[in-house]
Chains A and B, each alone.
Chain A
Amino acid sequence: MPNLTRAATIILGKELRTEFRTRELLSTTIVFVLMVVVLFSFTFDPSASESRRFGPGLLWIAFLFAGSLMLHPSFMREQANDTLAGLRLAPIEPFAILTGKILANFLFLLLAELLLLPVFAVLYDVRLTPVQGRLLPVMLVLILGTLGLTTVGTVFSAVASQARMRELLLPLLLLPVLTPVLIASAEATSGLLADPPELPRTWLAFLVAFDVVFLTATWLFGEYLLEE
Chain B
Amino acid sequence: MKPNWMTTLIVAALIGIAGYAALFLAPTERTMGLIQRIFYFHVPSAWAGFVAFFITFIASVAYLLRRAPKWDWLAVSSAEVGVAFFTVVLVTGPIWAKPVWGIWWTWDARLTSTFVLWVLYLSYLLLRTLVADAERRAVVSAVFGIFAFLDVPLVYMSIRWWRTQHPQPVIAGGSGSGLDPQMWRVFLTCWAALLGVLIVMLRQRYQLESLRHTVEEMTVEAERRNADLERIPSTQAVR
Residues of A within 8 A of B (CB): 152, 155-156, 159, 162-165, 169, 172-173, 176-177, 179-180, 183-184, 187, 202-203, 206, 209-210, 213-214, 217, 221-222, 224-225, 227
Of A172, A209, A224, the most chain B CB neighbours within 10 A belong to A224
Q: Tell me if B151 is interfacial: C-beta within 8 Å of chain A.
A: yes
Chain A residue with Cβ nearest B131: A163
- Can you list 9 residue pairs at the A/B interface with Cβ under 8 Å? A152-B147, A156-B147, A159-B144, A162-B136, A176-B120, A180-B158, A183-B158, A217-B146, A225-B140
Chain B positions 97-156 with a Cβ under 8 Å from a chain A Cβ = 116, 119-120, 123, 126-127, 130-132, 136, 139-140, 142-144, 146-148, 150-151, 154-155
Query: Which 3 A-B pairs give the minimum distances between C-beta atoms?
Result: A180-B158, A163-B130, A180-B154
**Once the chains bind, are A222 and B140 in contact (CB under 8 Å)?**
no
Q: Using Cβ atoms and an 8 Å threshold, which residues of chain B touch A173? A: 123, 127, 144
* Besides the known contacts A155-B147, A173-B127, 19 further A-B residue pairs in the complex with CB atoms under 8 A apart: A159-B143, A163-B127, A163-B140, A164-B131, A165-B130, A172-B126, A177-B120, A177-B151, A179-B158, A180-B157, A180-B158, A203-B161, A209-B154, A214-B147, A217-B147, A221-B64, A221-B146, A224-B139, A225-B139
Q: Tell me if B5 is interfacial: C-beta within 8 Å of chain A.
A: no
Q: Tell me if B51 is interfacial: C-beta within 8 Å of chain A.
A: no
Of B130, B136, B154, B157, the most chain A CB neighbours within 10 A belong to B154
A169 to B64, CA, bound (A): 22
Q: Using Cβ atoms and an 8 Å threshold, which residues of chain A touch B154? A: 180, 206, 209-210, 213
**Once the chains bind, are B158 and A176 in contact (CB under 8 Å)?**
no
In this complex, the interface size class of chain B, counting residues with CB under 8 Å from chain A, is 20 to 34
Q: Using Cβ atoms and an 8 Å threshold, which residues of chain B touch A159? A: 127, 140, 143-144
Q: Using Cβ atoms and an 8 Å threshold, which residues of chain B touch A222? A: 143
A159 to B147, CA, bound (A): 11
A203 to B162, CA, bound (A): 10
Q: Tell me if B43 is interfacial: C-beta within 8 Å of chain A.
A: no
**B78 → chain A closest CB, angstroms:** 18
Known contacts A165-B130, A210-B154, A224-B64: A156-B116 contact under CB 8 Å = no
Q: Using Cβ atoms and an 8 Å threshold, which residues of chain A touch B64? A: 221, 224
A173 to B147, CA, bound (A): 10
**B163 → chain A closest CB, angstroms:** 10
A210 to B155, CA, bound (A): 10
**Once the chains bind, are A156 and B162 in contact (CB under 8 Å)?**
no
**B124 → chain A closest CB, angstroms:** 8
Q: Using Cβ atoms and an 8 Å threshold, which residues of chain B touch A224? A: 64, 139, 142-143
Chain B residue with Cβ nearest A165: B130
**Once the chains bind, are A180 and B150 in contact (CB under 8 Å)?**
no
Q: Tell me if B62 is interfacial: C-beta within 8 Å of chain A.
A: no
A159 to B143, CA, bound (A): 8
